[in-house]
C-alpha cells in the first residue's frame, strides 16, 4: 500500500491550467508565471493544497493560469482574504499575487498588517511602476516627475520603496528579484515558500506597453553585473564585473558604495539576513532611490517569529480545553458584562 502522505511527482504541465494567458505580448508577467509553474513540482506540495489569491490588475489574472485552487478577489484585499484562509486552513500553501497599484495603493493597509502579523502567506508583488490594467496612470512606485495620463505635467508624489515599507512593517521575510532572471526568481520563491510566516518578494516586472524599459538600466543582461548588488548571507557585499565594488558603513554609520581597492575586502559590510534588528537591511534597501542606480537584490531579511495562524489556533485550543470555556455560552458570560435596567 502506498503512503498517502507521499506527494505525487508532477511536471510544469500539471500546474498549468487550460486557460490561455491574456497579457500583452512581451509582458514580464509571462516570465513570472513560467518561473512559478516550473518551480512548483520541486516544492514537494500538492496542487489540491495550494491556493493562489489575487486582487485586481494585470497580475491578478495569475490564479486562472495555475491548475490549483484560487480566487480572484477584490482590489487590494488579497492579503486580507489570504489572512482569513491561512488562519482557517493552516495546512494550505497560500500564495498572494498583486501589482504595485493593487498592493500599495488601495491595498497598502492590508499588506502592512499581514506582514506585521506574520501570517503564513507568500506574497509576490509585481512592481512595474505603473497602472497597466487601467491603461497607464502613475502608481505608488512611479518616480517623481512621471508623465502619465493621470499626471500630464509629472507626478509630484514621493514613491514607496516596497522593500523599505515591508521592513518597516517588521516583515520576517523580505526579498527582491526581477522578471529577466528565471533562476534568481525561483531561488527567491523557494526561500519564500520555505519560510514560516509572511514572506514578501518584490519582482521588478516590465510593462512593455505603458512603462517599457523602466528597469532596463539594471536588469538587461549586459548591465546586471555592474548594477545589481546580489545579497548573500554571511558574505561581504560586493558587485561589479570583477566584484570590484562593494558596500561599506562609514564612521557616521551611513551605508555607502565604495571601491574594494580603496577600503579592503575586510572592511566591507557582511550581509546578515538573520539579524533581529532590521535597521541595516532597511539602510541597504535605501541605496537606490530609482532603478537607474546600483540596486540590491536577493534576501534582505529572514528571521524566525511566531506565525499568526499558529498563535491564534493555539489560543482557541487552550480556551476550548479550559472546561468548555470556548463555547458560545461561555463567550456570552465572559467579562466584561453589564446589567442593563433595574
In angstroms and rounded to an integer, the radius of gyration of the C-alpha atoms of the chain is 22
What number is the average pLDDT over the span 205-210? 96
Q: With bands split at pLDDT 50, 70 and 90, how would you rate the model's confidence at 331?
A: low
Q: pLDDT grade, residue 324 (50/70/90)?
A: low
CB 177 within 8 A of CB 201: yes
Burial of 256 per CB tally in 10 Å (0-12, 13-18, 19+): middle
DSSP code of residue 59: G
238: β partners: 246
Q: At a CB cut-off of 8 Å and minimum separation 6, what does 50 contact?
A: 40, 66, 68, 69, 92, 93, 95
Please compute the mean of the pLDDT values over residues 235-240 and round it to a whole number. 98
**What's residue 248's pLDDT?**
97
The predicted structure's pLDDT at residue 315: 84
All residues at 6 or more sequence positions from 145 whose CB lies less than 8 Å from its CB, including other chains: 154, 155
Of 129, 131, 64, 124, the C-alpha closest to 98 is: 124
The answer to whether residue 292 scores a pLDDT higher than 50 is yes
Q: Determine contact, residues 72/82, Cβ cutoff 8 Å.
A: no
* Cβ(73)–Cβ(51) below 8 Å: no
pTM for this entry: 0.93
Tens of pLDDT, residue by residue over 137-189, are: 999 999 999 999 999 999 999 999 999 999 999 999 999 999 999 999 999 99
pLDDT of res. 1: 31
The predicted-structure confidence for 215-234, as pLDDT tens digits, reads as follows 999 999 999 999 999 999 99
Residue 317's beta-bridge partner residues? none
Per-residue confidence band for 192, with pLDDT thresholds at 50, 70 and 90: very high
With bands split at pLDDT 50, 70 and 90, how would you rate the model's confidence at 98?
A: very high
Give the list of residues 6+ apart from residue 263 with CB closer than 8 angstroms, or none.
246, 248
DSSP characters over 7-41: PPP--HHHHB-SSPP-S-TT-HHHHHHHHHHHHGG
Write phi, then psi, for 168 (nearest 5 degrees).
-65, -25
Query: Could you give all domains of the chain from N- to C-terminal order, each with its CATH number?
Result: 1-214 (3.40.50.970), 228-291 (no CATH)
DSSP character at residue 105: I
Q: Residue 2 has what pLDDT?
A: 38
Amino acid at each position: 500500500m502506498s503512503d498517502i502522505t507521499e506527494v505525487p511527482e508532477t511536471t510544469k504541465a500539471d500546474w498549468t491550467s487550460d486557460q490561455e494567458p491574456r497579457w500583452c505580448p512581451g509582458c514580464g508577467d509571462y516570465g513570472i508565471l513560467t518561473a512559478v509553474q516550473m518551480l512548483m513540482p520541486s516544492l514537494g506540495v500538492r496542487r489540491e493544497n495550494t491556493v493562489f489569491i489575487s486582487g485586481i490588475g494585470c497580475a491578478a489574472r495569475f490564479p486562472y493560469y495555475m491548475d490549483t485552487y484560487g480566487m480572484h478577489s477584490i482590489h487590494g484585499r488579497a492579503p486580507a482574504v489570504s489572512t482569513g484562509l491561512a488562519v482557517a486552513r493552516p495546512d494550505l500553501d497560500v500564495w498572494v499575487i498583486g501589482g504595485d497599484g493593487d498592493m500599495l495603493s488601495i491595498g497598502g493597509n492590508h499588506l502592512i498588517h499581514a506582514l506585521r502579523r506574520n501570517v503564513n502567506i507568500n506574497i509576490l508583488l509585481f512592481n512595474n511602476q505603473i497602472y497597466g490594467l487601467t491603461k497607464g496612470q502613475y502608481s505608488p512606485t512611479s518616480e517623481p516627475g512621471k508623465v502619465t495620463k493621470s499626471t500630464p505635467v509629472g507626478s509630484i508624489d514621493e514613491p514607496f520603496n516596497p522593500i523599505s515599507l515591508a521592513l518597516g512593517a517588521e516583515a520576517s521575510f523580505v526579498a527582491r528579484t526581477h522578471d529577466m532572471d528565471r533562476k534568481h526568481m525561483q531561488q527567491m520563491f523557494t526561500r519564500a515558500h520555505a519560510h514560516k510566516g509572511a514572506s514578501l518578494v518584490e519582482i521588478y516586472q516590465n510593462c512593455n506597453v505603458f512603462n517599457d524599459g523602466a528597469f532596463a538600466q539594471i536588469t538587461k543582461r549586459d548591465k546586471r553585473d555592474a548594477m545589481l548588488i546580489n545579497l548573500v548571507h554571511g558574505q561581504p557585499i560586493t558587485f561589479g564585473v570583477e566584484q570590484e565594488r562593494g558596500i561599506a558603513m562609514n564612521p557616521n554609520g551611513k551605508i555607502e558604495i565604495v571601491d574594494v581597492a580603496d577600503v579592503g575586502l575586510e572592511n566591507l559590510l557582511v550581509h546578515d539576513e538573520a539579524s533581529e534588528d532590521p535597521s541595516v537591511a532597511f539602510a541597504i534597501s535605501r541605496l537606490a532611490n530609482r532603478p537607474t542606480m546600483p540596486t540590491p537584490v536577493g534576501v534582505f531579511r529572514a528571521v524566525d517569529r511566531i506565525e499568526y495562524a499558529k498563535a491564534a489556533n493555539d489560543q482557541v485550543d487552550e480556551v476550548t480545553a479550559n472546561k468548555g470555556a470556548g463555547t458560545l455560552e461561555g463567550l456570552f458570560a465572559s467579562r466584561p458584562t453589564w446589567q442593563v435596567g433595574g
